[in-house]
Amino acid sequence: MKTRRFLNFPPLASWACLGLIMASPLALQAQEPAKTPAANAAPAGKSADKPAVAKPDPAPQGKTAAAEPAKKEGDAPKKEDKKDEAKPAEPALHKVKKGEFELKVTLDGVFESAGQTPISLSPEAWSDLTIVSVVDHGTEVKKGDVLVKFETKDLAEQIADLEKSQPLAELNLKLARQELETLEKTTPLSLDSARRTKMETEQDFAYYEDTGRPMDEKDAHEDLKRIEQSLSYAQEELDQLEKMYQADELTEETEEIILKRARNDVAYYKWILEQTKARSERSLNTMIPREHAARQRGV
């Protein structure tokens, strides 16, 4: 943008006037015709120190030039040379009029507004924005004008994907609300059931700890003891029968049958005793402690 400005510089005008005044006498002196030696020579009776004043000469120039050779021709050139060497002729006076100089200056520049408003864009959900175009600095704009254009292809695709997924999201939201309503109705019932279950579990655990476990342990011991006693009875009966039959030295079929039955009972009770010992050890060392821990965790 080019702007023309008209400026007044009073100090510069004064210096220019002074330069013109000083240069004028030299120009005028160069333009005046050369005077004859007789015209430049001063009369003998006048002092050389008095400054010469230029006066208008009414006589024609040709007559003056003709009259001058009538004077002493031998002395005129010498006097003229001396006068020229002594002092140059005074310049003519010019009247200077006071006024203003008008200077025209052409400058290149731009106008900048005193009040500026910064413009920024800080999106919350999309940060990948590429500037396509922007208005030039200093452009005059009005309300509604586009200042900056961005590359929105990726953003448009993202918006399209969101619009496509919107119906599914709305359906999921509807289902979630229905589930929430159901939970609001069933949760109190579930809490009541859980409270009852917890109370029953605590009661069962207290009973098991006070009664059930001691009974299980005692039952394991009693089973083992009963089998041991049965084996002892069978062994004792077998021993008595063998002694009695050996003393009589009798061998009858009935006696053989009785002895065989007694021996079988002893063998059976031995086997039962072995099994009972194994079950008793497992119950006392594993099953009963495990059940106790499970009931305790459920409390």
pLDDT per residue over 127-181, tens digit each? 778 888 888 877 788 888 888 888 888 888 888 998 899 999 999 999 999 999 9
> With pLDDT > 70 as the criterion, what percentage of the chain qualifies?
67
Residue 64 pLDDT: 42
Q: What are the backbone dihedrals phi and psi of residue 171, each rounded to the nearest 5 degrees, phi first?
A: -65, -45
Q: For all residues of the chain together, what is the average pLDDT?
A: 72
pLDDT per residue over 108-138, tens digit each? 887 777 777 778 888 777 777 888 888 887 7
Q: At residue 87, what is the residue type? A: K
Angle, helix 288-298 to helix 213-248, in steps of 10 degrees: 170
Lowest mean pLDDT among 58-62, 80-84, 203-207: 58-62
Closest CA to 229 of 283, 180, 276, 161: 276
Separation CA 137–CA 134 (nearest Å): 9
Hey, where are the domains in the chain? 2-108, 190-298
**Does this model's pTM top 0.85?**
no
Residue 72 has pLDDT above 70, yes or no: no
pLDDT per residue over 74-107, tens digit each? 455 555 555 556 677 788 888 888 888 788 888 8
Residue 15 pLDDT: 55
Q: Are 41 and 79 in contact (CB under 8 A)?
A: yes
Residue 21 pLDDT: 57
Residue 263: Cβ within 10 Å count: 15
